[in-house]
Every structure is written in structure tokens, then in C-alpha cells.
Chains A and B, each alone.
Chain A
Amino acid sequence: MEVLTHNFKPAAKKALLDKDLSAAMGRAESGFVDTRRKVTDELLNFEEFRTLGRDVKNHTLANLDYYLELFERNVIAQGGHVHWAKNGEEANRIVLDICKKADARKIIKGKSMVSEEAGTNAALERQGYEVIETDLGEYIIQLAGETPSHIIAPAVHKSKKAVTELFDRYHAPMGYETVTEHEAIVDQARQILRDHFCSADVGITGGNFLVAETGSVAIVTNEGNGDLTSCLPKVHIVTTSIEKVIPDMEALGGFLRLLARSATGQITSVYTTLFNGPKRDKDIDGPEEFHVVLLDNGRSEILGSEYQDILRCIRCGACLNHCPVYTSIGGHAYGWVYPGPMGSVLTPILVGRENAGDLPNACTLNGRCGTVCPVKIPLPSLLRKHRSDLVKAGSQGAVQKGMLSFWYVLARRPVLYGVLMRAFKTVLSLFALLDKAGQRGRIKTLPGASAWTSSRDLPAPGKSTFQALWKTAQSASNESEK
């Protein structure tokens, strides 16, 4: 997928002013956060599972070569094929080759973020293949010519009305009616996609976990599209990446409990499937060929680096749903496949910091992402690490540099600092008083700070400055010690 991360600031600004987007994101945030809380509370030792998730992933990464080779051996023993791709281009070449050999025309796809990363759809379409996404959210954004805005809910930014219009444009010429209700929309997509499922030559899915001990590829879905994609066409290709491997079924059970809860607030997804190679001798259905494409694309270079923890990520999306920045601007502003906190950590590493330096800087360091991550990735410290690396590389902007040096001078002169703060507080309080539109305690408009106030309020200052409060508290405690 094309990298547009350098465009982050203007894209974020535009997103903040988009009313439909903010309605959609608000809905998503509350939905995901509440349901997750309920199901994680219900599993009393959820924390123990998070620790397990962290430990198993760390163990696997520390022995990654062993588990990848074990996985490969077991897939081959079951009659499947394993292909290694150092980058997206190579992954696409492998997929194209398989499709060509299979004499394919139509290719159906279940959701795969790795194939988004590689830009597989575009590569296939350039060669004249018909490619159809079957996850409802992916299908919608494919019609719209967009990219996913969330790693598990790709069309989370779209309203029902927008979907109605899209379906009208593409389905009406095929003789379908206008559909305006959720059920009718889903039903229409179901009918259309069924025809595709039953006439496709190749099915491509992602892989959530690769179980080394058995050579199994595990996927989870709620719609069942991944299963239809894999069992109807004569060829099944899994596009996945090297860090998805786990040792055994025991570990899988632990991860499944973490994933569904963290991702969609479910006890378990409707469908969890383990694929073990192609159709067997007497089987009535299933694919004749089974391929796994293992993408590296820079991951092996993260091993042993200070950013290694991000390789534990199981792509649940919880850090996105709990991020105030993501839920305000949506996924597209991030400019590449992976948005939100995990994207802000991973993208600069995979596409280069010079292209994606603004992503870690957008973080408010509130820390919620790190608290919810099912595999305990210290996202806030990794984001801070990026920032400090950016500063070391001298690539922060002139304004930021100027402000920081100004603050550095002030912070070492407490008296001057106090005077300036008090003056600043008085001016701000005046604005808060004058701000008729503002509710109590908030400032809606502030001359010279419209970049801030056009998309959010500024809190009005409190009664005293921090320094004054500190002084009072200190003298009070000195009093009591006497």
C-alpha cells in the first residue's frame, strides 16, 4: 500500500473537521470500549492470560527460527506449500505465480492486513484478475475505492447512508433494489458475494496464528467469509507474516481468550478455524492446493532492537479503540495500513522514520493503550522512544525545537517561570470569563490559538498555579511535621 504518512498533519486536521467521521468514531469508541470492559471483567484472571500472552510471544520470538522451520515442516508434511517473502513485492509475485499456474480469473479474499501491507489487490488487478473482498467491511471500502481505517473494522468510518449510496451505485445496474436498513444491506451483500464465493478460482485469507507444532493456520471471523473463501475455490492462499507463529495448541487457547475479548468484546468469535493443508484423499470438499506466504518486510530487523516488543502484537485493535487521537481522527489520517498506537510504533520502523515522524508525536501519552494491550506491549514507552530517537536524529521541526529551548531556559529560572505563569493564568481566566459560547470551565475560542480551539475546547485555568499549590502543600506538611 502507498505510504502517505508524511501527510499526517493536514490529514488529521481535515479529519477533525469531518462531522460524519466524528459521529462514526464516537459510536465505535463507546461500543468497543464498553463491551471489552464487560468481558474482560468477567474472566477473573484475564491479567494472568495477558502475562501468558506476553511470555509466550517473547519465548517464540527468542526462538523464532526454530518455530518457523517447525511450522514449515509440518505444513509440508500435510501436503501444503510454504513461501518466504522478504517484502511485499515478492509476496505479490508469489501470489501472482500461484494464480497463474491455477489458471485463475476470479479471486476472493478474506480480510488480511498483510495483503494490505503488500498491496496484493492492486498487484493482482494490474494483471487482469478480478479481486473481490468478502468481509463486509472490506467489501464496502473496496467499492468505495478506499483503504481500511481500522485493523479489525475496516469500514468503521462509513455511515449506513454512505453504504446505501455505494450499493445503489454498484448494485442497481445488476438489478438490485435500493436498501436502507442494516438487515437489507447485509442481505444484499450476502446474495452478491455468494455468487462470487461459488465461482471463484482462488481464495486468499490472512492467518491470525500459525501453530508450529501441528502446521496449522488459525483464522477468526464472525461472518464466516474466511471459511467460505478457503473451502470453495480450488486453491487457498494464506498471506501472513513471520511473527504470527506460536509454539502449540496450548498457547493458541490462551491467545484465543485474549483476542476475541480485546478485539470485539466477545467471549469468542463466531468462527475460529484451523487449516491443515489441502483436501485429503477421500474428502468431499476443501481446496486442492494450500499455500502459506510468510512475509518479513522488515520484521526480522526489529528482532533484538529496542522496539522488539511490538512484534508481540496480535492485531486486536484494542489500542486503537482506546486511543483519544485515533478515535478523533480515524484511521485514514495515519496514511498507511496500521493506524493508532500500534501503527504509530510500527509504521516509522517499517516505512522509515523520515516518512512517518509525525505519528509518534501525535500521542498524548495518556497510557490507555498500554493498559489494554493483551500482550502487554509497552506502547507509551515505545512511542516516547521514537520521539527521543527523532530528537537525537535532529529531525524535529523548528517550532518544536524553539519552544523546547525556550522552556528549557524558563524551567531553570523558577522565579521568572512563576511570574510568567501567573500572568498567563490571569489572561486565560479573562478569556474564559468573556467566552460566552463556552461552558463553564472551557474556552471555545482564543485569538492566536485557533489551531487548537477549532477542533476542541481549551480547559480554563484553575484558581492557582501549580507552583502556588505546591508551595501551600509543602508548608502545610512542614507544619504538621513540627
Chain B
Amino acid sequence: MAHGSNSRQSILNRIRSFTGRDESGEAPQKSWSVPQPGYVVDFTKDLVTSFTSRLNAVHGTLQTVADFAGLPVAVHDYLSEAGQSNVQELLVHKGLVGLEWGNRSVSVRKAAKQDRVSVTLAFAGIAETGTVVMTSSSDSPTTQSYLPDTNIVVLRESRLLATMESLWPLLEHQPRALNFITGPSKTADIEQTIVYGAHGPRRFHVILVKNAGAN
């Protein structure tokens, strides 16, 4: 705190002259709770359907596989369909390295400018908004979600939650970066026209794993 420590004190003093609190003041009592969000259609009834329709509405796509063993084939098919079948290397979450990836190589590393496809593993999903939740770690580098043109996100169905509020109890600690991602990157900065692929991925595909086992 070499910087601005005088300013710190003077700003806090001014605030305290209003709040009337002294430096050892106790934690204030909070008096609110977040209401359960209500929609015309009850989104909590069928989480997969709610999640999918929100995701589709923002140009994200979704497919389902039975278990982790089915992932490589699903990834392969998606890439062929997206015209990306000549991609040689996939950037992946560490937990996915052991799967049978066939001819493609997989690496767990920081993404670079030329990387084309990443297959990341979401910590959770949120049905209310069609969002995936990414937690940064040595297994899960943040750049993988932002630099490649195509981001495929693996989501365990058991981790599909109704709202953001159900996420907090599951997080044991805050990761360095907690990223909530809802669809491909986009901009409407020119004449309010939506264009996908502004800085982040142009293609955003979620693969939902039905039975994720102990994973």
C-alpha cells in the first residue's frame, strides 16, 4: 500500500463522517434476500430444456452424449459439420486428456493466437440463463475459453443448476477467474447489428454428458 495511503485515509474519513462508524465497527446487518426469479414458463421444471432453449436463443448449440467415452466421437462429428475437420490439435481441460482422441493430438496449455479449437470442461451450468461456469486452475486455463475460434464446452448434466444462487454453495473457494459464458462472442457496436465472433469464439457448442460417473 505504498500508493495513495493518505488518500485512503482521507476518503475513508470522509465516508465515516457520514456513516458514523469507527474503524473497529461491526459487520452491518443485512436485511434482504434475492427473490426467486419468476418466468411465464417455470424454468426449474426441466433444466435441460430450459438451458437448451436459452443457449439456442443466443446462437449456442448443444448435443447430448451418454458418457465421457462418447465425447471424442461427438467432438469429431461437430468439427466435421462446422467445416473444421482438418484441425489437428485440440486444447483441452486436463481431465479430458485420457480419452481416446484418435488422430488428433490434445494439449493442456495456454491458448495462443493461432489455436483453432478448445474442448473445455465446465464446473457447472445455469439453466435460467443458458450459461456455463468455468473455473480457472492449472487443469483449466482461462485463455482456452477465449482465444480459439471454436469453443466446445463439456457439461456434466449432474452439474446443471437452476440459478446462479445454487452455484455458490458448490464452490469451495474462489478460483482466480470465474467465467460465466453464454453463447459465442458478439458485438452490436456498429449500427446495432449483431455480429458473432467479436473477440472470443465464433462457434460455441455445449456437449452435455448424461452419466458423468464419479468425474
Listed in ascending order, the chain A residues whose CB lies under 8 Å from chain B are 24, 27-28, 31, 42-45, 48-49, 52, 55-56, 59, 62-66, 68-69, 78, 81-86, 90, 94, 97, 134-137, 140, 153-156, 158-160, 163, 182-183, 185-187, 190, 193-195, 197-198, 214-216, 222-225, 227-228, 230-232, 242, 247-254, 256-257, 264, 267-280, 282-286, 294, 296, 300-301, 303-304
On chain A, the residues within 8 Å of B192 by CB distance are: 27-28, 31, 156
- Least CB distance from A207 to B in Å reads 14
- Least CB distance from B119 to A in Å reads 16
- Least CB distance from A29 to B in Å reads 10
On chain A, the residues within 8 Å of B168 by CB distance are: 249-250
Interchain CA distance A153-B12 in the complex, whole Å = 33
Report which residue of A78, A163, A223, A242 has the largest number of chain B beta carbons within 10 angstroms of its beta carbon: A223
0/1 string, B34-50, CB within 8 A of A gives 1? 11011110000000000
- Least CB distance from B115 to A in Å reads 11
| Beta-carbon nearest neighbor of A163 in chain B | B190
| Beta-carbon nearest neighbor of B3 in chain A | A83
Q: 3 closest Cβ contacts across the A-B interface?
A: A224-B200, A223-B198, A282-B138
Contact indicator A186/B190 (Cβ below 8 Å): yes
Interchain CA distance A31-B184 in the complex, whole Å = 21
Contacts A27-B192, A56-B32 supplied; 9 other A-B pairs, CB < 8 Å: A55-B31, A59-B30, A64-B15, A136-B187, A154-B189, A272-B131, A276-B174, A276-B177, A303-B15
On chain B, the residues within 8 Å of A65 by CB distance are: 12, 15-16, 19, 21, 25
A94-B4, A283-B141 known; A267 and B129 CB under 8 Å? yes
Interchain CA distance A155-B112 in the complex, whole Å = 29
Interface size on B, residues (CB 8 A): 79
With beta carbons under 8 angstroms apart, the residue of B4, B19, B31 that contacts A90 is B4
Interchain CA distance A275-B109 in the complex, whole Å = 20
Interchain CA distance A161-B16 in the complex, whole Å = 52
Contact indicator A228/B200 (Cβ below 8 Å): yes
At the interface with chain A, which of B62-70, B74-82, B142-150, B207-215? B142-150
| Beta-carbon nearest neighbor of B110 in chain A | A285
With beta carbons under 8 angstroms apart, the residue of A134, A270, A272, A285 that contacts B141 is A285
Main secondary structure of the interface of B (DSSP, over half): loop
Contact indicator B198/A216 (Cβ below 8 Å): no
- Least CB distance from B149 to A in Å reads 10
- Least CB distance from A346 to B in Å reads 18
A300-B11, A304-B18 known; A182 and B32 CB under 8 Å? no
On chain B, the residues within 8 Å of A231 by CB distance are: 142-143, 146, 177
0/1 string, B16-28, CB within 8 A of A gives 1? 1011010001011
Contact indicator B32/A52 (Cβ below 8 Å): yes
Interchain CA distance A362-B5 in the complex, whole Å = 41
Contact indicator B164/A253 (Cβ below 8 Å): yes
On chain A, the residues within 8 Å of B16 by CB distance are: 65
| Beta-carbon nearest neighbor of A287 in chain B | B176
Q: List 23 A-B contacts (CB under 8 A).
A: A52-B34, A55-B31, A56-B32, A64-B19, A86-B4, A135-B189, A140-B189, A140-B190, A182-B191, A185-B190, A186-B195, A198-B112, A230-B177, A242-B11, A257-B37, A269-B182, A271-B179, A271-B181, A275-B176, A285-B111, A286-B136, A296-B11, A300-B15
A224-B198, A227-B146 known; A66 and B21 CB under 8 Å? yes
With beta carbons under 8 angstroms apart, the residue of A28, A224, A253, A274 that contacts B34 is A253
Interchain CA distance A49-B183 in the complex, whole Å = 25
- Least CB distance from B102 to A in Å reads 25
Contact indicator A62/B178 (Cβ below 8 Å): no
Q: Is B56 engaged at the interface, CB distance under 8 Å to the other chain?
A: no
Interchain CA distance A304-B1 in the complex, whole Å = 28
With beta carbons under 8 angstroms apart, the residue of B174, B176, B180, B191 that contacts A283 is B176
Interchain CA distance A270-B33 in the complex, whole Å = 26
- Least CB distance from B75 to A in Å reads 21
Contact indicator B12/A68 (Cβ below 8 Å): yes
| Beta-carbon nearest neighbor of A303 in chain B | B18
| Beta-carbon nearest neighbor of A30 in chain B | B192
Which chain B residues (116-137) contact chain A, with CB distance < 8 Å? 129-131, 136-137
On chain A, the residues within 8 Å of B186 by CB distance are: 222-223, 270
Contact indicator A66/B25 (Cβ below 8 Å): yes
On chain B, the residues within 8 Å of A264 by CB distance are: 188
On chain B, the residues within 8 Å of A90 by CB distance are: 4, 7
Interchain CA distance A248-B168 in the complex, whole Å = 11
